[in-house]
Amino acid sequence: MARTIEIEDMITVGTLAEKLMLPATRLIGELLKNGVMVTINERIDFDTAQIIVEELGLDVELAKKAQAEPAARVRKQGHSEKAVPRPPVVAVMGHVDHGKTSLLDAIRSAHVAKGEAGGITQHISAYQIIHNKRPITFLDTPGHEAFAAIREHGAHLTDIAIIVVAADDGIKPQTLEAIRFARKAGVKMVVALNKIDKEGADANRVKQQLSEHELLPEEWGGDTVIVEVSAKTKQGIDNLLDMILLVTDVEDFRAEVEGPARGLIIESHLEQGKGPTAHALIEEGTLKAGDFIVAGTTYAKIRTLVASDGSTLKQATPSTPVAITGFKALPEFGDEFNVVNNEKIARQQAEQNTALKQGTSSRSDMSSRELLRIINRSNQIQELNIIVRADVQGSLTSVIDSVKALDTEEVAVHIVSSGVGAITENDIHRAVTSNAIIYGFNVEAPTNIKRLASRDKVMIRLYKVIYELIDDVREGLGKLLSPEIVETETGRLVVKAIFKTTKTEVICGGEVTKGKLVVPAFARVVRDKEQLAEVEVTNLKRGPQDAKEVLEGEMCGVSLATATRLEIQEGDRIEFFTRQTHTRTL
Ligand code: GDP
């Protein structure tokens, strides 16, 4: 029985050698043979380790060690007695065009939807409203499936999901995706039956559809809260907010307010005159202006703390979205933040996180996929090189995650570089050296950059709608796919007589036992079950006459072009087939 060794996602070469009871030099040598150059202290990922262990032929199986859950994910469990009720964090989800933006807009009574490109919400942010004197926090979650990445990050932040379904359209794929997401994340659902004002609205039909997906309306004896609303006429909005507060009371969301704050970065961008600015949602504790916080690889002494209504705060408590300035660099979307005692600790922690990250990314550059590619030279992955620029970190993450999701075993997107902000001269240089296409999402290419690009023949593609960008990348990737070769068997012949055999040709005769024979064609010569050769059929004869096709039951003569001398015998089978190439798409 193979010995099982548990390792983590990343492991240093030295530790792996120790676990395998091998000299480290042997392991390094094997990695080197496979094109991976590492030292004893460098880390390789699990898949690479697994491939190498297989290559070494050791009687060992690797298993992934269960990872400890990140601290923030345990938020919903156990609190001390000091925990106090906190506002709910609500996300609005559902199919495109069902009215998510309009609904959020109606709720906040501002008019964000109007100026938006493509009508979808492009990046995550959050704001708080007051209803019946109680605060409710809304995540401005983007609505299209391309933003699944953001939703995954935001999953443990969300308490309640409003599933928006247009009453005139019913349940659609992204509605189901939203329902699945909410179920998976253990998030409470409230269904908003939107566009109830429209002529074609049919609330009953949608309720029926919801029941089919195990969301039985309360009025039909189930426990799904369904509220009929119209983002247009504002009908039902108050009722929807009442229901959210009701669910909040039933669920009794709580958090600790005492102690240092902890939470998640939900957006970051450079703001003119203010420097790196991050939007964050507090999960536990109280965040104060002047606090030192660490978020991923950067840290801040909080200079200003601003609420979603623009007011400056001295401190903020759980479920409150805030804009924070004072960061040394842009934190990343999805980074967890925590308060530390002083600047020294903040700097040290940020440096530690940076080192950890570099360790991971330098080795993930030589990822298992690259390694596989080296091992399977015959099965090379074709790569599409791209450079990505986006307006804010949140959308950059979404674009990168979405295009990476297009990877297949044959073709993959290789992101040469990426960044927040307008396209730069440096991007053009990189694009030239790596033969990359530059994709810009919600960013501009200044005129001098455009000129440079056209001089250097660099392609810049600018998009304002994420799925159009993704479709374009998909199309580019599709072009890298080698065409598919489709073989179609047309007919079979059983050999009855051999007329001539040379090094390059066989002429024989026989009976068509299946289908019909046509020229030109290819054929496989089969004896018993074994294939002897693949040949080209150059001629067909019915009697003394050349024929274009010969049908089942008829006798004929065939000329075959062979690569080497082929000793055909009576009783051999010749299977005729045609070969066509089809271009493929992803
Ligand atoms: P999203 O893609 O889910 O964010 O959908 P939008 O909020 O952009 O809405 C899509 C379209 O439906 C827009 O043209 C809206 O004006 C329209 N719409 C949204 N809510 C309503 C509603 O309650 N009634 C009517 N009649 N139209 C609506």
Mean pLDDT for back-to-back runs of 10 residues, the chain (586 residues): 79 85 83 75 80 82 66 48 88 86 81 37 65 88 44 66 94 82 83 96 94 89 92 94 94 90 84 84 93 94 88 92 92 86 91 74 41 42 88 86 83 88 90 89 91 90 89 89 84 94 92 92 92 92 91 94 91 92 78
Gap from CA of 231 to ligand 1 centroid (Å): 7
Position 180, amino acid: R
Neighbours of 272 (CB within 10 A): 6
124 plus 231 within the same structural domain:
yes
Nearest CA to ligand 1 atom 6: 99
Query: What residues does 413 pair with on adjacent strands?
Result: 384
Nearest CA to 441 out of 125, 147, 91, 173 is that of 147
Q: How remote is the CA of residue 172 from the centroid of ligand 1, in Å?
A: 15
- For the CA of 229, the closest atom of ligand 1 is 23
Structure tokens at 146: 């391309």
Q: Do 375 and 519 share a structural domain?
A: no
CATH of the domain at 454: 3.40.50.10050
Torsion of CA 350, 353, 355, 359, to 10 degrees: -160
> How many angstroms does the Cα of residue 115 sit away from the middle of ligand 1?
14
> In 3-state terms, what secondary structure has residue 216?
coil
Residue 276: asked if its preceding bond is cis (omega within 30°), the reply is no
H helix runs in 133-197, sequence order: 148-154, 173-185
| Domain-located, residue 24 | yes
Cα–Cα dist 74/391, whole Å: 32
CATH code: domain of residue 559: 2.40.30.10
**Within a domain: residue 289?**
yes
Q: Please indicate whether residue 236, judged by its CB atom, sits closer than 6 Å to ligand 1.
A: no
Q: Is the CB of 172 under 6 A from ligand 1?
A: no
Ligand 1 centroid distance, CA of 585 (Å): 33
Domain assignment present for 443 = yes
Please tell me if the CB atom of residue 116 comes closer than 6 angstroms to any atom of ligand 1: no
Residue 71 lies in a domain: no
Q: Does residue 77 lie in a domain region?
A: no
122 CA from centroid of ligand 1 (Å): 16
With a 6 Å cutoff on the Cβ, whether 113 touches ligand 1 is yes
Share in percent of the chain as helix, strand, coil (round to 5): 30, 35, 35
Residues 168, 309 within the same domain: no
Q: Is 559 helix (H, G, I), strand (E, B) or coil?
A: strand
Which atom of ligand 1 lies at the shortest distance from residue 104's CA?
Answer: 7
Could you tell me whether strands 336-340 and 292-295 are parallel, antiparallel, or unpaired per DSSP bridges? Answer: antiparallel
User: Same domain for 288 and 430?
Assistant: no
Ligand 1 centroid distance, CA of 13 (Å): 55
Buried-state track 348-360, b at ≥16 Cβ within 10 A, e below 16: ebbeebeeeeeee
Q: Measure 295 CA to ligand 1 centroid, in angstroms.
A: 36
Interval between CA 96 and ligand 1 midpoint (Å): 9
pLDDT at 145: 37
What angle, 0 to 180 degrees and rounded to 10, lies between the N-to-C axes of helices 24-33 and 46-56?
Answer: 100
Boundary residue ending a domain (333, 360, 387): 360
Beta bridge partners of 304: 325
92, 97, 172: which to mutate for ligand 1, most atoms within 8 A of CB?
97
Q: Would you say residue 72 lies in a domain?
A: no
Supply the CATH number for residue 18's domain: 1.10.10
The ligand 1 atom nearest the CA atom of 144: 2
Looking at ligand 1, which residue's alpha carbon is closest to its atom 22? Answer: 195
Domains: count for the chain: 5
Report the C-alpha gap between 562 and 566 in whole angstroms: 7
194 CB less than 6 Å from ligand 1?
yes
> Do both 492 and 546 map to the same domain?
yes
What is the distance in A from the centroid of ligand 1 to the CA of 113? 9
Do 384 and 456 belong together in one domain? yes
Which of 71, 499, 38 shows the shortest CA–CA distance to 285?
A: 71
In a domain, 471, yes or no: yes
Residues 100, 195, single domain; the answer is: yes
Measure the CA–CA gap between 300 and 265, rounded to whole angstroms: 13
Integer Cα distance of 187 and 182 in angstroms: 5
Residue 229 DSSP code: -
Regarding whether 503 and 354 lie in a shared domain, the answer is no
**Residues 112 and 193 both lie in one domain:** yes
- Which range marks the domain in which residue 500 is found? 484-582
What pLDDT score does 412 carry? 86
Closest CA to ligand 1's atom 14: 97
Looking up residue 188, the CATH number of its domain turns out to be 3.40.50.300
* 18 and 140 inside one domain: no
Q: In this predicted structure, what is the pLDDT of residue 238?
A: 93
Residues 37 and 144 in one domain: no
Q: CA nearest 19: which of 31, 36, 4, 1? A: 4
- Looking at the fold, whether 387 and 342 belong to one and the same domain comes out as no
C-beta 230 within 6 A of ligand 1: yes
In short, whether 119's Cβ falls inside 6 Å of ligand 1 is: yes
Q: For ligand 1, is residue 197 a contact (CB within 6 Å)?
A: yes
DSSP notation for 79-117: --TT-EE---EEEEEESTTSSHHHHHHHHHTS--GGG-G
Verify whether ligand 1 is closer than 6 Å to residue 198 (CB atom): yes
Last residue of a domain, one of 435, 459, 480: 480
Q: What residue's CA is closest to ligand 1, atom 19? A: 99
Quote the CA–CA distance of 271 and 323 in Å, as a whole number. 11
Residue 231 Cα: closest atom of ligand 1? 23
Strand partners, 189: 161
State if residue 120 touches ligand 1 by the CB under 6 angstroms criterion: yes
- Please identify, by atom number, the ligand 1 atom nearest to the C-alpha of residue 233: 23
Q: Residue 138: which residues within 8 A CB-CB, separation 6 or more? A: 89, 90, 91, 92, 104, 107, 108, 126, 127, 128, 129
State the residue for tokens 């060690």.
65
Residue 194 alpha carbon to ligand 1 centre in Å: 8
Q: Where is the domain boundary, 445, 480, 515?
A: 480
Pocket test for ligand 1, best of 95, 102, 120, 195 (most atoms within 8 A of CB): 102
Determine the Cα–Cα distance for residues 185 and 157; give it in Å rounded to an integer.
Answer: 10
Whether residue 420 is contained in a domain is answered as yes
SS3 at position 200? coil
CB of residue 192 inside a 6 A radius of ligand 1:
no
Among the atoms of ligand 1, which is closest to the Cα of residue 96? 2
